[in-house]
Amino acid sequence: MPQFDLPLPELRRYAPRIAEPPDLDAFWASTLGDARSVPPVVSAARVATGLRLVDTWDVTFAGFGGDPVRAWFSRPAGVSGALPAVVEFAGYGRGRGLPHERLIWVAAGYAHLLMDNRGQGDLFGSGGDTPDPHAGGLQPVTRGIRSPHDYHYRRLITDAVRAVDAVRALPGVDPARVAALGNSQGGGLALAVAGLVPDLAALLATAPFLCHFERAVALTDAPPYGEIAQYLAVHRDAGDHVWRTLSYVDGVHLARRARAPGHFGAGLRDTVCPPSTVFAAYNAYGGADRTMHTYPFNGHEGGDAVHVRRQLDWLRSKLSP
């Protein structure tokens, strides 16, 4: 795929005005206030993984509506004291998988919490363990899309915020040094967390989904954005409701409220999360300390392992383990 979006100099200046709901802050304050009416951690049980250098717990925490959400919590074995923590969010259609699949951040010396995606896990990877009792059918991006109160991503973003609450309540974690991290959908969730958790210590978002929806749907027919177009092709009268709902979870609006140091990445040939949608969020980002890495000849994979090494170096400079 050749480059199809704006040239890099224009991307660096791209800051579109996107209509923001006047009650956005009240909407999220009410949603998160309800979720936080119960303690975050429900249970944490040590599990055998076959790994000698990593200790892992199967954690259940209270997410949206008090619903039980599963996660893997891991720490370097034999390390005492309170560690900085990385809360990681998985991509679209993925669940938390198996506990030995994501070891980079534990190997780097961090405590690590990997959140399960409610109602997902059936498209890629090794599955998930968290149902979404509030909705079924359709693809995640279109579940409840006619109303911001019924929308799947209201629940999933709330779960993501509660994952930060949960890791801060677990033993062996320094609650003042917690970072949110993810790629694609995970990057969009991490970005939302940065906007909704004012004392987050750091954000790492690569090719974030959930940003500048109308432009994304206009530029690509690849899923997940293409699934919104498919929905509107059938539900031809739903456009106003759909765009209004999406405005409550748009990463551009939530990025504007973020204050944590931010590390971003984008492939300039990415047809899944087009680069202009990523830059729309990056250029709106409220934190003064932010950096962007671009990969001109890469798509949704972005910088891959090269980018991860850059993340490792950057995060160590912010939250030394």
Catalytic residue among 184, 212, 250, 263: 184
Distance of CA 204 to the CA centre of its chain: 9
Q: What mean pLDDT comes out for the span 22-48?
A: 97
Known catalytic membership, residue 67 = no
DSSP 167: H
DSSP 248: T
Residue 55 pLDDT > 70: yes
Q: What is the pLDDT of residues 176-197, one digit of tens each?
A: 999 999 999 999 999 999 999 9
Residue 44 pLDDT > 90: yes
d(CA 172, CA 31): 29
Catalytic residue among 159, 253, 270, 307: 270
d(CA 237, CA 197): 36
DSSP 82: P
Rg (CA), the chain: 18
Report the pLDDT value the prediction gives residue 148, as an integer from 0 to 100.
98
Strands 54-62 and 41-47: antiparallel
Q: What mean pLDDT comes out for the span 14-36?
A: 97
d(CA 264, CA 1): 22
Residue 295 pLDDT > 80: yes
Known catalytic membership, residue 307 = no
Q: What's this model's pTM, rounded to 2 decimal places?
A: 0.97
Catalytic residue among 253, 263, 300, 307: 300
Residue 205 pLDDT > 90: yes
Query: How many degrees, rounded to 5, is the angle at CA 82 between CA 79 and CA 86?
Result: 90
Report the pLDDT value the prediction gives residue 320, as an integer from 0 to 100.
79
d(CA 147, CA 132): 17
Name the strand (E) or helix (H) holding 41.
Answer: strand 41-47
Report the pLDDT value the prediction gives residue 138, as an integer from 0 to 100.
77
Q: What mean pLDDT comes out for the span 306-317?
A: 98
Confidence of residue 124 (pLDDT cuts 50, 70, 90): confident
Query: Is-cis flag, bond preceding 171, omega within 30?
Result: no
d(CA 153, CA 92): 11
Please list, in sequence order, all residues whose beta carbon lies within 8 angstroms of the beta carbon of residue 157, skipping any fewer than 6 positions away.
189, 192, 193, 196, 249
Confidence of residue 2 (pLDDT cuts 50, 70, 90): confident
Residue 1 pLDDT > 80: no
Known catalytic membership, residue 122 = no
Report the pLDDT value the prediction gives residue 135, as an integer from 0 to 100.
80
Residue 140 pLDDT > 80: yes
Q: What mean pLDDT comes out for the span 39-44?
A: 94
- End-to-end Cα, the chain, rounded Å: 40
Helix (H, G, I), strand (E, B) or coil at 252: helix
Q: What mean pLDDT comes out for the span 276-300?
A: 98
State percent of the chain over pLDDT 90.
Answer: 95
d(CA 31, CA 36): 9
Distance of CA 194 to the CA centre of its chain: 9
Report the pLDDT value the prediction gives residue 125, as an integer from 0 to 100.
86
Residue 321 pLDDT > 70: no
- Of 144, 296, 300, the closest CA to residue 209 belongs to 300
- C-alpha dist (Å) from residue 258 to 20, 190, 229, 262: 16, 11, 29, 9
